[in-house]
A and B are shown apart, each in its own frame.
Chain A
């Protein structure tokens, strides 16, 4: 049985902020994916960035002072 991957998502104030962050994080070569914001986390109709739990610190550091983010949540798809 393969190990279960544990994901988190980071939410931003707008799609512009999200896609700006996507570009910066991709430049840092951190594996991420832009996905629709999961309904159970927020009723916002936008998108957020999903990443593996172990990259959280790296992501926070990369975004610091460059793109403001709203919040980070655990997210595990069924």
Chain B
């Protein structure tokens, strides 16, 4: 076993498929140019590959037209486009108490500008009741903004069900898929998703600095861009283009990153989302079974294993999460994350605020041996406490 065990895939997946690096190297060594700007062959080739990345994303999310994928630097930026671009003072928006700050902070900022916000409390297990969402819908409800799965407990939200509720009530549905794109099936049309924010650097196997927003047809007419600038199109006009994706993509993109993201998404498509999911959840189940046998460990569970992703939050009784992660790193070479995971509301919901938890997040490249080693490590830490 190598001396590093990486259980922090919910923050950034690592390692990446070799195809991701090869694509980035190809861009760096052979292409180098700006896509969608100059008309020479290298610029055109860069543009083709950026389009191929959109096409791979359109395939994995079932969006149809690939030009409805707008690139951003991560899910946070995509959520900012959705929230600040769509909502206005006087509108009402609904979200859950399990959200990451990438949703909560833009919504709270909009609340200060006159947005009415309902945060639906979830259960101690992080479960959201669809009935509570229905009850919160009012005449001025504009959107429901919901995470697909919690980055703290791994709890999966009933996305398709909430999507149907949103569509029936003519409310827009925006999903934060930061934790799920590439590891859970997402089909925007079947799930009635109007806006899908995703990041490239987690289960889609791309590099940091890549991500984006799917925008359903027609919504570009009502969503304002949060940035304006050069797009390589309509250059004779000083007003921002009104068509997608250029309306939301100003300035030179992260082309090298998008080469990597395209290769990453294609590697996910080749392996199959279900296969990846089965492998990761198998590791999580194995780990959960192991800690269940340790009375000193508190596991913040989310009910049935089928209702979670491969993210596990736990604590050792009488030990702070930061102390535990430091020992795991220094003594055992296990990389994980402690604290509030940028989701204070989720920690309040599962009653771990403000101390937080230790989070193990498993990825496709982790092994059963690594999980066994980590269980032994936790066991040793408990007995030497």
List the interface of chain A (C-beta within 8 A of B): 13-20, 22-23, 34-37, 42-47
Contacts and interface: CB of A to CB of B under 8 A. Distances in A.
Contact of B39 (A22, A35, A42): A35
8 contacts: A13-B241, A14-B231, A14-B246, A16-B47, A18-B47, A19-B48, A36-B39, A43-B235
B236 A15 contact: no
A30 B196 CA distance: 35
A12 to B, nearest CB: 9
Contact of A15 (B35, B40, B66, B243): B35
Interface in B1-51: 35-40, 44, 47-48, 50-51
A63 to B, nearest CB: 13
B37 A45 contact: yes
A45 B47 CA distance: 14
Contacts of A46: 36-37, 39, 232-233, 235
B182 interface: no
Contacts of B235: 43-46
Contacts of B35: 15
A43 B235 CA distance: 7
A15 B47 contact: yes
A15 B236 CA distance: 15
Interface in B59-93: 66-67
A16 B251 CA distance: 14
Given A16-B54, A35-B39, 11 more contacts: A13-B233, A14-B243, A15-B37, A16-B245, A16-B246, A36-B38, A44-B233, A44-B234, A44-B236, A46-B232, A47-B39
A23 B50 CA distance: 13
Ranked 3 nearest A-B pairs via Cβ: A36-B39, A15-B36, A14-B233
A14 B232 contact: yes
Contacts of B231: 14
Contacts of B51: 16, 19-20, 23
Name B's interface SS: loop
Nearest to B247: A14
Contact of B36 (A16, A36, A42, A43): A16
Which residue, of B47, B66, B231, has the highest number of chain A Cβ atoms within 10 A?
A: B47
B233 A20 contact: no
B253 to A, nearest CB: 11
B246 A13 contact: yes
A58 to B, nearest CB: 22
B243 A13 contact: yes
Given A44-B234, A44-B236, A45-B235, A16 B67 contact: yes
Given A14-B241, A45-B235, A47-B44, A20 B67 contact: yes
A42 B47 CA distance: 20
Contacts of B236: 42-44
A16 B234 CA distance: 13
A57 B44 CA distance: 25
Contacts of A19: 44, 47-48, 51
Contacts of A43: 235-236
Nearest to A34: B44
Contacts of B39: 34-37, 46-47
A18 B43 CA distance: 13
A42 B39 CA distance: 14
A49 B37 CA distance: 15
Given A44-B233, A44-B235, A14 B66 contact: no
A14 B54 CA distance: 14
Of A17, A42, A43, A45, most buried by chain B (CB within 10 Å of CB) is: A45
Nearest to B246: A14
A37 to B, nearest CB: 7
Contacts of B44: 19, 34, 47
Nearest to B66: A20
Interface in B123-177: none
Nearest to B51: A19
A15 B67 contact: no
A37 B39 CA distance: 8
A23 to B, nearest CB: 7
Contacts of B38: 36, 45
